[in-house]
C-alpha cells in the first residue's frame, strides 16, 4: 500500500468514499470527485454535482 502524501489528501479521499451524493438533488455521482484548493491559511474541498451543478463546499482553516 502506498502511503498518503498528506492529511489533506486523506481527507479528500474520505469525502470521495462517503460524500458523493448531492445534497440538492440526491444524485449519487460515482464518476465525480472532490477538488482541493488552498489559499494561505485555508483548504477548500469542493464537489460539483454532474446532474444539477449544485456546489458543495467544505473549508478548513489552518
- Asked whether residue 1 is domain-assigned, the answer is no
Q: What is the pLDDT of residues 33-60, one digit of tens each?
A: 888 888 889 989 999 999 999 999 999 8
Question: How far apart, in whole angstroms, are the C-alpha atoms of residue 60 and residue 39?
Answer: 11
57 domain-assigned = yes
In a domain, 2, yes or no: no
Q: What span, in angstroms and rounded, lies between the C-alpha atoms of 44 and 27?
A: 22
| pLDDT of residue 4 exceeding 80 | no
Domain holding 28, by residue range, is: 7-61
Please check whether residue 37 is in contact with residue 48, taking contact to mean a CB–CB distance below 8 angstroms.
no
Query: CATH number, domain at 39?
Result: 2.20.25
**Is 37 part of a structural domain of the chain?**
yes
Structure confidence by residue, pLDDT tens digits, 5-35 = 787 788 888 877 777 788 899 998 887 788 8
Please state, rounded to an integer, the average pLDDT across all residues of the chain.
84
In a domain, 40, yes or no: yes
Question: Number of structural domains, the chain?
Answer: 1
Amino acid at each position: 500500500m502506498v502511503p498518503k502524501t498528506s492529511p489533506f489528501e486523506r481527507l479528500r479521499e474520505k469525502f470521495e468514499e462517503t460524500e458523493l451524493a448531492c445534497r440538492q438533488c440526491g444524485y449519487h455521482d460515482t464518476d465525480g470527485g472532490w477538488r482541493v484548493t488552498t489559499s494561505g491559511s485555508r483548504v477548500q474541498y469542493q464537489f460539483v454535482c454532474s446532474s444539477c451543478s449544485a456546489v458543495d463546499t467544505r473549508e478548513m482553516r489552518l
